[in-house]
């Protein structure tokens, strides 16, 4: 049973020089640096020569399935520092939440109307475009916050956020240009669908 739990122990016991090594307490030369005994004695960060699978097997019954590598992990401060709590602010909380929901709810009639009426008039189409820009921006922002945590990858977080902001402004400009010079989003989709 112990051999299943700790393969390193088994390997030590089975190797030919085991008895000699187990009996020698003081003679450092007889303990190979790669042996499990030496591995246990050495500092943890030096235990690199022992096989990774041997170390992991003691705790995990199944193969590890790593989807993505872990992002950099650093500890700021000590273990006794309290978690920083941001100052409560409704513009980052309840107002923001309600604003997001109002945008989403406003999109429902604007998405249903073209299916009923065939298309939208230019004013409604422009409102749809504006809501889509804001809704998309909020969605991408949520993805950046979730997948590029500021605490772990501050540089990536900031650059992604700025790229998104620039992209959103350019998209607004582009849709303004499309709405004023061309036929409008709903009419474009309608014509493309019929093409």
Task: By CB under 8 A, tell whether 187 contacts other proteins.
Answer: yes
Give the range of 5-13, 73-81, 87-95, 149-157 binding other proteins by CB under 8 A.
Answer: 73-81
Task: By CB under 8 A, tell whether 2 contacts other proteins.
Answer: no
Cα(15)–Cα(190) distance, integer angstroms: 76
DSSP string over 116-154: HHSS--HHHHHHHHHHHHHHHHHHHHHHHHHHS-TTT-H
Q: Closer CB to other proteins, residue 140 or residue 157?
A: 140
Task: By CB under 8 A, tell whether 155 contacts other proteins.
Answer: no
Please select the residue that binds other proteins; options are 9, 38, 153, 156, rule is CB under 8 A.
Answer: 38
Cα(140)–Cα(100) distance, integer angstroms: 13
Cα(168)–Cα(74) distance, integer angstroms: 32
Give the range of 35-43, 77-85, 116-124, 148-156 binding other proteins by CB under 8 A.
Answer: 35-43
- Per-residue CA distances from 111 to 11, 107, 135, 178 (Å): 67, 6, 13, 19
Could you list the residues that contact other proteins (CB under 8 A)?
23-26, 28, 31, 37-38, 41-46, 56, 60, 64-70, 72-75, 101, 104-105, 107-108, 111, 132, 135-136, 139-140, 143, 167, 170-171, 173-175, 177-178, 182-183, 187-188, 191-193, 195
């Amino acid at each position: 049973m112990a051999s299943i739990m700790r393969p390193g122990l088994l390997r030590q016991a089975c190797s030919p020089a085991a008895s000699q090594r187990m009996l020698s307490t003081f003679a450092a030369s007889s303990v190979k640096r790669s042996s499990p005994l030496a591995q246990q004695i050495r500092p943890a960060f030096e235990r690199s020569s022992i096989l990774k699978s041997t170390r992991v097997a003691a705790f995990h019954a199944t193969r590890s399935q790593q989807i993505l590598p872990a992002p950099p992990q650093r500890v700021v401060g000590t273990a006794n520092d309290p978690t920083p709590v941001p100052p409560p602010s409704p513009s980052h909380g309840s107002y923001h939440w309600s604003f997001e929901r109002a945008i989403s709810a406003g999109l429902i009639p604007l998405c249903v109307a073209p299916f009923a009426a065939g298309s939208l008039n230019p004013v409604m189409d422009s409102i749809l475009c504006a809501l889509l820009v804001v809704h998309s921006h909020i969605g991408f922002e949520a993805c950046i916050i979730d997948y590029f945590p500021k605490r772990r990858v501050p540089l990536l977080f900031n650059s992604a956020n700025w790229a998104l902001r620039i992209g959103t402004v350019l998209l607004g400009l582009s849709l303004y240009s499309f709405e004023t010079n061309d036929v409008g989003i709903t009419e474009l989709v309608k014509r493309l669908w019929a093409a």
